[in-house]
Structure 1
Amino acid sequence: MNAVASQVSSVSGLPSAEEQDRALRDASPSEVIAAALKAVGREKLALVSSFGTESATLLKVMADVDPAIPVVFLDTGWLFEETLAYRDTLIATLGLKDVRSIKPLEETLSREDPDRDLWFSDPDACCRIRKVEPLARALKPFSAWLNGRKRFQGNARADIPVVEDDGARLKFNPFANVSREEIEAIFVRAKLPRHPLAASGFLSVGCMPCTSRTAAGEDERAGRWRGRAKTECGIHTMKIS
């Protein structure tokens, strides 16, 4: 274990999120993942991935540390077919050993979105039943989780720490400090496959009804919930209990 990761103790004496954030503030993504793994163990650590346009990079770094870390994928029922195919491609390419595709509960969809138009009438409610609630259910066995947010994405992500308190568990942001150039370098160095929609102008890919192409000069997440004040689905702005 490297020197940075060794600063984080085992789960029996786990430091606070603030202490771990200070210890890992300048750590590389692989060091952050290794530290999270040392802190809580593989059975209590999950990586949450959208298998979006930049997801391959974090999954690659994780796989180099331990490809058996559980990966949680939220299959909302509104994803592009290209995203589902990309998930399968990355599982095979990176040798991921434990990818769990989580879906919203059918009874919840039948009760709250019987006509499948909630994405239009109340997108926050749609994200809650298709993303936030399924993720809360999926994360119950875990003590910590990893995600791919980056400060350069702006808005609510501009000041994210490397480690934060997420209610019932710790939340590690291994890519908090990385730049766009570093993301691209990982793609090139590892010869990672690109999301099938990236070449068509989709710089950030979420659910089909709420994702559009990004024009030149726009923020990379400008195509998400276009025309609305909404910029996040909720899984990163609410405490996951």
Structure 2
Amino acid sequence: MNALAADRKQWARDHAAALRNLYGSLDGEGLVKVMTQLEFRGRIALVSSFGAESAVLLHLVAKVDRTIPVIFLDTDKLFGETLRYRDRLTKLLGLTDVRTIEPDPVAVAERDPDGVLWRDDPNACCRLRKVEPLNRALSGFDAWITGRKRFQTKERAELPNLESANGLVKVNPLISWDAEALDAYRIAYDLPAHPLVEDGYLSIGCMPCTDRVAPGGEYRDGRWAGSEKKECGIHLEADGSGI
């Protein structure tokens, strides 16, 4: 790691800690408002998968400022339902700056010419199609908003509302929300559900690596089912640490 990158990571760690001291009790719309309008105005983006629970966070952000950049990673392996859901929510919520980010076609041709890297090396596929494109897309921002919640996995159970990774502050407005609260909010504001949820998909990623969750199963059992893999990597530090 060069000195500039090390300094940037230290800045993000220190800044996230200072912000937790100020706003550690905030979540939801209140946290979104403070982070986007006061602390990082013009320097923050929302990263959204337009997945099973995305409508709630997108609606919270749209209520505060519909012009906040929304970064959507199109891995070229997504469900068609997700792409159509993105278009529907973008129009419904009046989002004005949804940026669809794709993997580098040259890198794809070199490292996944047959399109089956997801089967042979899912970690490498996620780096190619998610981690690297997102890192490029976040260049120039100081912070980004995520949709992670503590109930989703045991690894996320202790998430703070503000943290840092790879030189950026990460804002988690929904960490304390459970599935019932999310569904109640969606119904209250008449937000459409992702069309695959009714078919048993609780956490929705790329089509080849996402399966239905059996009744009584854990929230993310359908992601990389049958393997030890739990995260795509966008929430990990460059050294693989984090969640």
Q: State the TM-score, normalizing by the size of structure 1.
A: 0.91
Q: Tell me which moved more, 152-161 or 229-238.
A: 152-161
1:215 has 2:205 as partner: no
Please name the residue that 1:7 is paired with: none
Residue 155 of structure 1, CA deviation: 3.0
Secondary structure of 1:151's counterpart equals: coil
Q: Which has the higher contact order (CA 8 A, sep 6+)?
A: 2
Secondary structure of 2:151's counterpart equals: helix
Any idea what the Cα deviations from partners look like across 1:56-111, whole Å, max 9, x if unmatched? 00000010111110000000000000000000000011111100000000000000
Q: CA RMSD in A?
A: 1.4
Distance 1:141 1:159 in 2: 29
Distance 1:130 1:33 in 2: 28
Distance 1:186 1:26 in 2: 20
Residue 239 of structure 1, CA deviation: 4.5
Distance 1:239 1:21 in 2: 23
Distance 2:128 2:210 in 1: 18
2:31 counterpart letter in structure 1: V
Residue 156 of structure 1, CA deviation: 2.3
| Cα 1:47–1:160 shift into 2, 3 Å | same
Distance 1:236 1:104 in 2: 17
1:109 has 2:108 as partner: yes
Contact 2:53 2:182 in 1 (8 A): yes
Please name the residue that 1:86 is paired with: 85
1:183 has 2:182 as partner: yes
Distance 1:90 1:122 in 2: 32
Distance 1:167 1:122 in 2: 23
1:44 has 2:35 as partner: no
Superposed counterparts of 1:1-241, under 5 Å: 16-37=15-36, 38-41=38-41, 43-239=42-238
Residue 165 of structure 1, CA deviation: 1.4
1:40 counterpart letter in structure 2: F
Q: State the TM-score, normalizing by the size of structure 2.
A: 0.90
2:149 counterpart letter in structure 1: K
Distance 1:151 1:21 in 2: 17
Residue 26 of structure 1, CA deviation: 2.0
Distance 1:167 1:198 in 2: 32
Consecutive unaligned residues of structure 1, counting only runs of 5 or more, are 1-14
Residue 158 of structure 1, CA deviation: 1.4
